[in-house]
Structure 1
Amino acid sequence: MREFKLTEDYIELVKLLKLLRIAQTGGHAKIIVEEGEVIRNGEPEYRKRAKLVKGDVIEVAGETIKVI
């Protein structure tokens, strides 16, 4: 499990995917989300700009990321 430390109140889902290099571009990140490849706290997340906060757990591309 990877951990991502927030420096602000939240981070948008597509930004997280780009920062962690799960998506190569913003467009690629949006496609990943639109196709239902992201699981947030056990539920599919289809909102590209979903605000992730501390405690959220994201599963995508065979990786698990905990927002801390």
Structure 2
Amino acid sequence: MTEFELKTEYIELIKLLKLLRLVESGGMAKIVVDDGLVLLNGETEYRKRAKLRKGDVIEFEGETVKIK
């Protein structure tokens, strides 16, 4: 499990995917979210700009990221 330290109130889902290099580009981030490939707190997340806050956990392609 990877931990990501949040320094602001929140981060948008597609921005986190890009920042952690789980996807190659912003366009790819949008596609994987649209296709339902990302889980947020155990549930499929379709909102590209979902606001992730401390305590949230995302899962994508076998990677798990906890927001601290």
Relative to the length of structure 1, the TM-score reads 0.98
- Aligned pairs, number: 68
Aligned to 1:66: 66
CA deviation after TM superposition for structure 1 residue 48, in Å = 0.1
Structure 2: distance between partners of 1:62 and 1:41:
14
Relative to the length of structure 2, the TM-score reads 0.98
Gaps of 5+ in 1: none
Compute the RMSD of aligned alpha carbons: 0.4
CA deviation after TM superposition for structure 1 residue 61, in Å = 1.2
Aligned to 1:28: 28
Structure 1: distance between partners of 2:30 and 2:23:
9
Gaps of 5+ in 2: none
Aligned to 2:14: 14
Structure 2: distance between partners of 1:61 and 1:14:
15
